[in-house]
């Protein structure tokens, strides 16, 4: 070694499933990556002063911070997996009743999911709920055929604005991740690569770290903020492998 180096970039990460050796994810977009190690100490004293120190229980963590991230990180951090297939999508739709006391939904609601309210002037507050019935004779009742609503002329004259809430069928390409009570993260191997520069020459060289036995701590906070950017933090506990290594760092 014998040289001084500077690092000014977050590492690109490759995450590998330890059970299957499948590459789960490649991440070249972390804003920050960090390795942290700690141990505990106990001291033997001589005449009341520390004389000998014993070290034990070494622990390590690897942390990555993202503002741009693949949604697969959720399954790595929380356990479980993504599935693809038809599902449902929640819809809120504002409609205006026409001269025939009709309004047409954009999509067909799934059975039993449709709820309709009159809208107040701010187009947010709910007025009277409209229920399925006989709109030809009964106020605040409606009927539906496929996607076409027929409203009561007294409670919903022409120009009345209503809001409909319902589930619609989603595409077969819908991706879904279920956070289950009994799903937990699995063990992975993490390989990180970045560049470092030598102080004396300015020449850049690769530095690589390998965490051969890591497991996400199982915590994830996703904050969605108006005017801000959502961030995701991934924290992994590091354990030793069959060679007693928690992390291997290479200057390439």
Most distant CA pair in the chain, distance: 98
For the chain, what is the radius of gyration of the CA atoms? Answer: 29
The whole-number pLDDT of residue 210 equals 97
Q: pLDDT of 58-111, one tens digit each? A: 999 999 999 999 999 999 999 998 999 999 999 999 999 999 999 999 999 999
- Mean pLDDT (the chain, rounded): 94
The whole-number pLDDT of residue 173 equals 95
Nearest-angstrom CA–CA distance, 53 and 45 = 9
The whole-number pLDDT of residue 2 equals 63
The whole-number pLDDT of residue 46 equals 97
CA 66 to the chain's CA centroid: 11
pTM: 0.83
Averaged pLDDT for residues 26-55: 96
Res. 1 pLDDT band, cuts 50 70 90: low
Write the secondary structure of the chain as one string of H (helix), E (strand) and C (coil): CCCCEEECCCCEEEEEECCCCCEEEEECCCCEEEEEEEEEEEEEEECCEEEEEEEEEEEEEEEEEECCCCCHHHHHHHCCCEEECCCEEEEEEEEECCCCCEEECCCCECCCCCEEEEECCCCCCEEEEEEECCCCCCCCEEEEECCEEEECCCCCCCCCEEEEEEEEECCCCCEEECCCCCCCCCEEEEEEEEEEEECCCCCEEEEEEEEEEEEECCCCCCCCCCCCCCCEEEEEEECCCCCCCCCEEEEC
Only one residue has tokens 């530095």, namely 207
Averaged pLDDT for residues 4-20: 91
Q: pLDDT of 112-134, one tens digit each? A: 999 999 999 999 999 999 999 99
Q: pLDDT of 170-214, one tens digit each? A: 999 999 999 999 999 999 999 999 988 878 887 788 899 999 999
Quick check: 15 pLDDT over 80? yes
Averaged pLDDT for residues 127-153: 97
The whole-number pLDDT of residue 196 equals 85
Nearest-angstrom CA–CA distance, 64 and 27 = 10
């Amino acid at each position: 070694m014998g040289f001084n180096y500077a690092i000014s970039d977050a590492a690109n990460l490759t995450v590998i499933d330890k059970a299957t050796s499948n590459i789960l994810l490649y991440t070249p977009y972390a804003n920050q990556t960090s390795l942290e190690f700690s141990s505990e100490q106990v001291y033997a004293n001589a005449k009341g002063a520390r004389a000998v120190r014993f070290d034990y229980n070494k622990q390590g963590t690897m942390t990555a911070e993202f503002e741009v991230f693949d949604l697969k990180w959720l399954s790595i951090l929380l356990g479980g997996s993504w599935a693809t297939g038809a599902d449902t999508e929640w819809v809120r739709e504002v409609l205006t009743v026409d001269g025939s006391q009709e309004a047409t939904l954009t999509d067909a609601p799934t059975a039993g999911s449709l709820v309709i309210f009159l809208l107040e002037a701010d187009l947010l507050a709910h007025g009277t709920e409209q229920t399925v019935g006989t709109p030809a004779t009964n106020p605040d009742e409606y009927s539906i055929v496929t996607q076409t609503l027929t409203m009561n002329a007294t409670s919903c004259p022409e120009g009345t604005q209503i809001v409909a809430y319902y589930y619609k069928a989603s595409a077969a390409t819908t991706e879904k991740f279920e956070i289950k009570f009994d799903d937990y993260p699995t063990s992975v191997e993490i390989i990180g690569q970045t560049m470092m520069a030598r102080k004396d020459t300015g020449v850049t060289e690769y530095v690589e770290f390998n965490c051969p036995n890591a497991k996400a701590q199982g915590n994830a906070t996703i904050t969605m903020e108006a005017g801000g950017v959502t961030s995701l933090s991934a924290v992994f506990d590091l354990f030793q492998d069959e060679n007693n290594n928690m992390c291997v760092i290479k200057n390439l």
